[in-house]
Amino acid sequence: GEEVAQTPKHLVRGEGQKAKLYCAPIKGHSYVFWYQQVLKNEFKFLISFQNENVFDETGMPKERFSAKCLPNSPCSLEIQATKLEDSAVYFCASSQSGDLAYGYTFGSGTRLTVV
């Protein structure tokens, strides 16, 4: 499709529970990016993929966050043992290439609330 599809739109988890977010990139786009937006508009880069390979994971918290992009499946971002500070909107974006920002299309985001 011509949009980046993120599911679910909203997710509520108790502290310590697992959260899993999904992103289906635009067909033909080989790059996928995950961003976290907390209050006050701070966007934090988490991880990017080129097809199913991790391209850049410099923004990923090492301990509880993991992500995958497997062939013929939506990409996923998983948070083990969620904490209150994980509450944020998680945006996924896809692009045909990694160096052209005008080709980045963002999904509508998943709002994660940890209570």
Whose Cβ is closer to another protein: residue 8's or residue 16's? 8
Binding string, 45-74, against another protein, x = CB under 8 A?
x--x------xx------------------
Candidate list 29, 66, 68, 98; residue touching another protein; CB under 8 A: 98
3-class DSSP assignment, residue 112: strand
The two structure tokens encoding residue 42: 């701070």
- Can you point out the beta strands (E) in the chain? 5-7, 10-13, 19-24, 31-37, 43-50, 53-56, 65-68, 75-79, 88-95, 105-106, 110-114
Q: Among residue numbers 22 through 41, which ones bind another protein (CB under 8 A)?
A: 33, 35, 37, 40-41
85 sits near another protein (criterion: CB under 8 A): no
| Closest separation in Å from C-beta 57 to another protein | 11
Q: What is the CA radius of gyration of the chain?
A: 13
Per CB under 8 A, 42 contacts another protein: yes
